Each structure stands twice: as C-alpha cells, then as structure tokens.
Amino acid sequence: MLRNMQRAMIFLFVFIGCFLAQAQAERIKDIASVEGVRGNALIGYGLVVGLNGTGDSSNSSPFTINSIVAMLENFGVNVRADISKMKPKNIAAVMVTAELSAFSRPGQQLDVTVSSMGDSKSLRGGTLLITPLLGGDKRVYSVAQGPVSVGGFALAGKGANVTKNHPTVGKVPNGGRIERAAPRGLDLDQHKVILTLNRADFTTVRRMQEAINQKFGQPIAKAVDAATVEVVNIDNNAVMMVADLEQIELHTDHRAMVVVDERTGTIVMGQEVTIDMVAVAHGNIQVSVGESPKVSQPNAFSGGDTTTVDSTTVDVTEDAAKLVVLPKTATLSSLVEALNSVGASPSDMIAVLQAIKAAGALHADLKVI
C-alpha cells in the first residue's frame, strides 16, 4: 500500500512538473480584473413555509413567531391574542443571500441561497415567501420567492437518526428577480482603465505593461505597483478597450512555493522549486508496549492472599536509517524521486521538506495549511 502510494505521488508530481514546463501564455482576462467591475452581495430575512414538521420551535426561535404575526397583520389577520398558542412546526426563519453580478439589469433573474437561522431540522419541501434582498447601501436590489431545493435530508426516530449533506441550507434557482440595476463600475468615456492582478507580482505586472504597449503600438499602459496597471482609454470607448485588453496573452511569473497539508499528507510543489546539495537520513523507530497480567499464588498455610501482578514488556525496533545525498537539482521530478528513494511516506516527506527548508537548502516558500 505504501509503495503504491509513493508511486502515485511520483506520477502526480512528475505530471504537474511536465504540465508547468509546457504551460502556455495566459490571457489578461484570466489573471486580472478590471477595477470597478465586480459583484455585489445581497442579503435578506424571510420565511420558508410548507415544511413537514421540521420547522422552528416556538421556545428556541421566538423571532419566527414575531415574523409570522407581522406577516399575517399585513394581510389583515390579527393573531396577537393567540400568540402564546402558536407552534410554527411547518415554518422556518431563514437568511437569504445572493450575488448581484456586475452590469445586472432589472428583470433579470439570479439564484438565491436560503439558510436556516433557527432550530429547524430541514428546509426540504418548503417554499420561500417573498423576501426583499438588500445591498450594502440598504437599498432593495432584488426580490426572492419560490420553492427551496435542498440536496440533503434528515430522518430521526426514537433510537437513531440519519442526516445526509446539509438539510438546513438550500437554493431557489432563478428565485430572485432584479428590481434595481447594479451600480455602474465602468463608464464608456472614462479616461483610464485600471487592471488589477489576481496575485501581485512585479515580474508579471511588468510583462503585462510591455504586452499591452506592444499590442497597441504606443505607451498607453503604465504599471503603478506590483498588482496594478493603468491603461489610457485612447478611443474613449472603455468597453471595446477592455475587450481588447482581455485577449492579450503573456507569460506569468510567481514565487517558488511548496504547499503541504499535514492533515491529509498532500504535497504540491511548483516547477521553480530547487534544492542545494544536502544529505538526508531517514529512519523509523517503533516502540511496542504490552501488558500481560500474572497471578501470584501464596504458599500453603502462609496466610497470604492471591493477587494479580502486572508484567510489562517493551520492544523497541529501529529501522536502519538511509543516508541519501540529494544533489543540487532544478527539476521537480528528480527532487521527488530523491525523496522517495529515502523511503519516506507522504507524512514523512513533509517532515523531510521542513528539515531541508530549515537547513537552508530548499529554495522555495514552505507553506503549511
């Protein structure tokens, strides 16, 4: 099993290394965004009705009762006299969230997410009542309503219960209708278009500046920091300018990085990772402790009592440490092969990489997640 895992990891690392070595140029559209062109978060509070006894309880969720009373009063139904008798087993209070994409216009639809905020057991089979969705400026941008689609369920009996996925969160596909246009983040005749890299890098931002100036044949782009390039809108048409900018290709650059996940034993290394000559010794020590109780029987007529005596055995097994010299290398595959030749499992390999980094021989950022 261990050998198969090591072979799989070698194949994975070699595949990643080959893929990175043959990587093509990337479009600006995939590595940067236009300043002002972004989505906007929406949020609202509503009620889901029609649940099959899996709604909120009156004791733990009093706000659900108050919401029901306020809703019914809007329809001319006065239930305040009987509020103490209300048990909303088929109703749940929920928070409704959505993402208003850039350039959204009234009449368009969007998906909304419904999340229980009380002690409801499941939202399966419920219907979201009309719910206004507010933006950060407290204005209503969308109104949501519709049947809730839940990808899980919860079943319970007297002696056992079964839960699959997350039954207290669901979606209403196309359940939100936009009532107000999204804030405009791009004007047609604005003087400059500002591009922002998704990951700041001085080398990449310089290449972006050079690629844009080469495309248009004049110095219209200027890198102002490690993540920002300002481009002059020479034709007074920012839409066409952005469309042209998005299709420009360039080779990106990034820092050498090794990412390890100690919980799962996952290791990801980029092509740029290199090491200096270093010697690595790897060995395992196994300690086994056993307990075998024995009965101590006193001699006849001695007046003693029979008792139990614990007998402890300790076995220590130490594997012979393998000393391997890792030469200075610039290839990912040779680094992985050298580490696997030490006989390290994924968890041991993480410790080896950390030790090589501490020795100053690993030329990469080591990030543990």
At 148-199, the pLDDT tens digits run: 999 866 655 555 566 666 789 999 999 999 999 988 888 888 999 999 999 9
Give me the residue spans of the domains in the chain. 2-21+256-293+315-368, 26-37+185-250, 40-153+166-178
The CA-atom distances, in angstroms, between 226 and each of 1, 28, 196, 223, 257 are 46, 15, 9, 8, 18
pTM of the model: 0.66
The whole-angstrom separation of Cα 44 and Cα 98 is 9
Residue 151 and residue 89 in contact, taking contact as beta carbons nearer than 8 Å: no
Question: How many angstroms separate the CA atoms of 8 and 31, rounded?
Answer: 31
pLDDT score recorded for residue 325 = 61
- β-pairing, 274-275 vs 362-363, is antiparallel
Contact assessment for residue 112 and residue 43, using Cβ atoms and an 8 Å cutoff? no
State whether residue 53 is helix, strand or coil: coil
142: enclosing H helix or E strand: strand 140-147
Query: In sequence order, what are the beta bridge partners of 314?
Result: 289
Residue-level pLDDT at 354? 79
- pLDDT value at residue 14: 46
Per-residue pLDDT of the chain (369 residues; tens, 9 = 90+): 445 555 545 445 444 444 444 446 899 999 999 998 988 999 999 999 999 888 888 777 788 888 888 888 888 888 777 776 777 889 999 999 999 998 999 999 999 999 999 888 889 889 999 999 999 899 999 999 999 999 866 655 555 566 666 789 999 999 999 999 988 888 888 999 999 999 999 999 999 999 999 999 999 999 999 999 999 999 899 999 999 999 999 998 888 888 888 777 777 877 777 777 777 666 654 445 555 667 667 776 666 677 766 665 656 455 555 555 656 654 556 666 666 666 667 777 777 777 778 877 778 888 888
Tokens encoding 30: 């995939």
- Contact between residue 13 and residue 19 where contact means Cβ atoms under 8 Å apart: no
Per the CB < 8 A criterion, the answer to whether 245 and 253 are in contact is: no
Provide the residue type at 359 as one letter.
A
What average pLDDT is seen over the chain? Answer: 80
The residue assigned the tokens 């009373």 is 69
Task: Give me the pLDDT at residue 226, please.
Answer: 93
